Structure 1
Amino acid sequence: MEAFRRAESLVAQRRPLEAIRVLEPVLDIASDKKSVQLLLGRAYLFSAQFRRAELAFLRVLELDPSDHYARLILGRTLQRQGRLIEARTQLRLAATMNPDPAYQEALGEINARIATDPRFE
């Protein structure tokens, strides 16, 4: 538990690479814990390891398909990879599950990007 809390603190301080190192022993014993995968995914996202972040968030959704925050942050991760259609799908689901204004804003942002991107005409 101490290592997990330390990793949380490091992610909050925007020190994701250190957080990933701290989480390594936690993963050995708790890789099936949603909170561990979510924190790991955030650390990967903040360190621009988008594919690894995506896999961690997908693991969270395997464990709990109704986790709207995991869908939101997965959508943001896909967006950072330029995978806008996939991102929109996740953001739509997240906004449907949780009508928080921040979720609606994220969905509106991705819809605007798709609408103005000539690849999607």
Structure 2
Amino acid sequence: MPKDLSGVAAELASVRHLIALGYEDPLDVAAREASVARSQQATLHSAEELLKRDAPTEAIAVLEPMLDAPSDWPAPHHLLARAYFRTGQWGAAEEQLRWLECRGVEHAELALLRARLALRRRSLAAARDHAEYASRLQSPLPAADALIGEVELRRGNLIAAEEAYRRASAAAGPQGAAWVGMAAMAFRRGDVAAAVDAALRAIEQEPRLATAHYWLGMALVQMQRPFEATAALRAAATLGPNLAAPYRLLARLAAEQGDFAAAGEYRQLGRAVIARRHAGRKN
């Protein structure tokens, strides 16, 4: 028996009325949201891969457009905080950390980033507090111990610093930051041979760790080995674009060798680093 055409017309009219009111089929909505989620996950994965390849600037370019979407998804903000920190955009990193904190997002890496930013501001008590909180969120956490060691070293508490560095260096896996701390402590004690050994240990574990090359260069300067020191300090400057200290030493070494043009270039490069850091604080 044929369906009543008047009934079909009424159904169509009802559908048109619902559409006019903004009704969407739940299945269509779910499919669209799933498609957006897949796209966001793919973008996030791309950014993570860029960060693993030590390309934070490229990661930022991928992540920043994700913030335009009306979403409280914390993952892009987390990765952006890491990427901004790596590129020396301290103010932007803090902004992302505040966004995450306001939404109750807790993670050991975020606490460590707050600790490192506090250390940059020379807020030693805050840096230690954040590092200890990070170690409560994830234990063991060698990076937190290494940061606590740096805080205590800056305070002049060598025994506490050494204890923290030894805890960090005893953990499984590469612990370059801990060995950098041991190198700094040895240098401070005047044991330059031990400083060289610790710095080389750090470089062996993490070859791209700029501060390891820096302390190696510092120790080699004290050992009157200017050519090896220059190579180490150049590596530190290349790997640590936010470090100005290598350029100061390079300028001094170049001047001692009579290369005043190179000394001037190194001073200029050091001033450029400091200018970028000041700009990063304002941002």
Smaller-chain TM-score bracket: 0.7 to 0.9
Q: Please give the per-residue CA displacement for 1:25-48, whole angstroms capped at 9, x wherever unaligned.
A: 554445841121111111111111
The aligned runs of 1:94-109 (5 Å cut-off) are 94-99=236-241, 100-109=243-252
- The corresponding residue for 2:186 is 44
Between structure 1 and structure 2, the one with the greater Rg is 2
- The corresponding residue for 2:257 is 114
Specify every segment of 5 or more residues in structure 2 that has no aligned partner in the other structure, as ranges: 1-140, 260-283
Q: Which amino acid aligns with 1:91?
A: L
Q: Please give the per-residue CA displacement for 1:93-115, whole angstroms capped at 9, x wherever unaligned.
A: 22333454433222111111233
Q: How many residues align?
A: 116
| Pairing partner for 2:231 from 89, 99, 103 | 89
Three-state SS of the structure 2 residue aligned to 1:65 is coil
- Greater relative contact order (Cα 8 A, min sep 6): structure 1 or 2? 1
Q: Partners of 2:254 and 2:203 in 1: how far apart?
A: 23
| Pairing partner for 1:62 from 204, 214, 224 | 204
Specify every segment of 5 or more residues in structure 1 that has no aligned partner in the other structure, as ranges: 117-121
TM-score, scaled to structure 1: 0.74
| Deviation at residue 87 of structure 1 after TM alignment | 0.6
Matched, 1:79 2:228: no
- The corresponding residue for 2:33 is none
- CA change 1:8–1:92 in 2 (3 A) is closer
| Pairing partner for 2:177 from 23, 29, 35 | 35
Q: Is the 8 A contact 2:192 2:219 kept in 1?
A: yes
Q: CA RMSD in A?
A: 2.7
Q: Which moved more, 1:23-32 or 1:88-97?
A: 23-32
Q: Is the 8 A contact 1:61 1:67 kept in 2?
A: yes
Q: Which moved more, 1:69-78 or 1:100-109?
A: 100-109
Q: Partners of 1:93 and 1:42 in 2: how far apart?
A: 17
Q: Partners of 1:101 and 1:5 in 2: how far apart?
A: 20
TM-score, scaled to structure 2: 0.36
- The corresponding residue for 2:121 is none
Q: Partners of 2:184 and 2:172 in 1: how far apart?
A: 17
Q: Is the 8 A contact 1:17 1:43 kept in 2?
A: no
- CA change 1:88–1:30 in 2 (3 A) is same
Q: Which amino acid aligns with 1:111?
A: A
- The percentage of counterpart residues that share the same residue type is 22
- The corresponding residue for 2:195 is 53
Q: Which moved more, 1:86-95 or 1:20-29?
A: 20-29
